[in-house]
């Protein structure tokens, strides 16, 4: 079965905490890995937060996009791409 990446894109409206808590709650990432991933997204402009089936990758991307809302009300940038 082909695998897909869920990608989170960096922005200037979401905090590290927004991203860390979102990854922990929605993807099930552990605290330390979520902290490292948030740093990676900040540094590289994007980061792969999950690699899984298309259905699950799209589910994570959709939930991260709509549920990780910044203090100013903006949605988190996410995408899905082939692994």
Residues found near Zn ion in the complex (CB under 5 A):
11, 13-14, 70
Contact between 65 and 75 under an 8 Å Cβ cutoff? The reply is: yes
Residue with smaller CB distance to Zn ion, 10 or 52: 10
Task: Provide the residue count of the chain.
Answer: 83
In the bound state with Zn ion, the residue whose beta carbon lies nearer, of 8 and 57, is: 8
In angstroms, the CA 66 to CA 63 distance is: 5
Beta carbon nearer to Zn ion, 11 or 24: 11
Least spacing, CB of residue 73 vs Zn ion, in Å? 10
């Amino acid at each position: 079965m082909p695998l897909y990446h869920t990608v989170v894109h960096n922005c200037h409206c979401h905090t590290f905490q927004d991203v860390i808590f979102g990854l922990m709650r929605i993807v099930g990432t552990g605290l330390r890995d979520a902290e490292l991933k948030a740093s990676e997204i900040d540094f590289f402009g994007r980061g792969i937060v999950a690699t899984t089936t298309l259905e699950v990758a799209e589910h994570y991307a959709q939930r991260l996009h709509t549920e990780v809302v910044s203090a100013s009300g903006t949605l988190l940038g996410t995408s899905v791409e082939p692994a």
